[in-house]
Structure 1
Amino acid sequence: MSIHFKFAEKNDLPKIVAIYNQVIKLKNVTADLTPISVSDRETWFANSSHDKYPIWIITDDDKIVGWCSFEPFYGRAAYQHTAEVSIYIDEATRGNHIGTQTIQFLATQLKQRHLQNIVAYVFKQNIPSMTLFKKQGFEQWGLLPQVAEIDGNHLDLAILGKHFD
């Protein structure tokens, strides 16, 4: 599998939303409980910026197999060098090390965006994501125990982070 990254365009939004909706049914990846619509994400997409906080699609042979993004962390000026990261991989291509390649790609994008830190919010019960980030050198910087409830299950939200100097 030879993957590539390119800035997402508005016509990619339906596939971005479809991939995101795949993980809702897993009940340990996102705090959304019901599928979202393309219109639900139009403002989010419009607020992304190629300069500082882009959304990328991940492609294999011109087929979208995932997406990733940087977003502002906590929105205050002192946090300007820290970004929240999101990574979502199409269920048909999970397990092919796309997540690892994505984190490695994102690390190459930090300097030009004047970013030094990446923060990821991951449910501790989401073992594949916890493993992925920890294998890439992320550490647990915080834990919010039982802050989410999905189908009667209480989930812990881990705050994972890594400094890139």
Structure 2
Amino acid sequence: MSANLVIREATIQDLEEIRLIYNQGIEDRIATLEETPKSKEDIQKWYEEHHQGRYAVLVIESDQQMLGWASLNAYSHRYAYQGVADLSIYIERSWRGKGLGSHLLKALENKAKENRFHKIILSTFLSNSLGQGLYRKRGFREVGVFENQGIVDGQFIDVMTMEKWLGLNSG
């Protein structure tokens, strides 16, 4: 792995690479229930929703090549859940399993604390043991499994929910 890793907030110029990496995740059927590749317009709208307020998108790159991205997403629009963020993390196919996710997740946790979230939650396929290992190393715990939560390629799939308390006080 390159020692020239940089993690930074995403810009509008990053959207095409974010889209390509996200679409790899959709194609590979290991990280999202989405089945339809995202268009430029889809990613533009998604970015606009994340580029305001407390939500954020971070990218990890080496020598100006994007290797992955992560985002803090709305968990719920109800006021009671304003301190809870959902997360997404995607690594470019050829870079998976090389430790980039750990760096990116640590930076995302710091951004969540900075933006006053007290908890991060995520959903992961039961079959995504690589992702679950990453989350457990970073202190996430399994909350439970939703059986038959979604459909991928015409088959029901079970989804595990995990969470991490960030240690912030309410208010």
Q: Please give the range of the TM-score, normalised by the shorter of the 2 chains.
A: over 0.9
1:101-130 CA deviation, whole Å, 9 max, x = no partner?
Answer: 112112222332111111011111212112
> How much has 1:152 moved relative to structure 2?
3.8
> How much has 1:72 moved relative to structure 2?
1.5
Contact 2:58–2:108, Cα closer than 8 Å, also in 1: no
The 3-state SS of whatever aligns with 1:141 is strand
Question: In structure 2, what is the Cα distance between the partners aligned to 1:112 and 1:49?
Answer: 15
> How much has 1:137 moved relative to structure 2?
1.4
> How much has 1:10 moved relative to structure 2?
1.2
Q: Which amino acid aligns with 1:116?
A: H
> How much has 1:131 moved relative to structure 2?
1.6
- The list of structure 1 runs, each at least 4 consecutive aligned residues, that deviate by more than 4 angstroms after superposition, is none
Contact 2:97–2:130, Cα closer than 8 Å, also in 1: no
Q: Which residue of 1 aligns with 2:87?
A: 85
Question: In structure 2, what is the Cα distance between the partners aligned to 1:24 and 1:7?
Answer: 23
Question: In structure 2, what is the Cα distance between the partners aligned to 1:12 and 1:20?
Answer: 12
Gaps of 5+ in 1: none
Q: Which residue of 2 aligns with 1:55?
A: 57
Q: Which amino acid aligns with 1:88?
A: Y
Q: Which residue of 1 aligns with 2:112?
A: 110
> How much has 1:51 moved relative to structure 2?
4.9
Match of 1:12 among 11, 14, 33: 14
> How much has 1:27 moved relative to structure 2?
1.8
Question: In structure 2, what is the Cα distance between the partners aligned to 1:50 and 1:67?
Answer: 17
> How much has 1:132 moved relative to structure 2?
1.3
> How much has 1:164 moved relative to structure 2?
1.1
Change in 2 beyond 3 A, CA 1:50/1:6: farther
What pairs with 1:136-151 in structure 2 (closer than 5 Å)?
136-151=138-153
Q: Could you tell me the TM-score, scaled by structure 1's length? A: 0.93
- Measured on the aligned residues, the alpha-carbon RMSD in Å equals 1.5
1:65-117 CA deviation, whole Å, 9 max, x = no partner?
Answer: 11111012111111111111111000121121011111211222233211111
Q: Which moved more, 1:144-153 or 1:53-62?
A: 144-153
Q: Could you tell me the TM-score, scaled by structure 2's length? A: 0.89
Aligned residues: 165
Contact 1:85–1:118, Cα closer than 8 Å, also in 2: yes
Question: In structure 1, what is the Cα distance between the partners aligned to 2:19 and 2:152?
Answer: 20
Match of 1:44 among 43, 46, 63: 46
> How much has 1:154 moved relative to structure 2?
2.3
Question: In structure 2, what is the Cα distance between the partners aligned to 1:122 and 1:56?
Answer: 20
Q: Identity over the aligned pairs, expressed in percent? A: 28
Q: Which residue of 2 aligns with 1:98?
A: 100
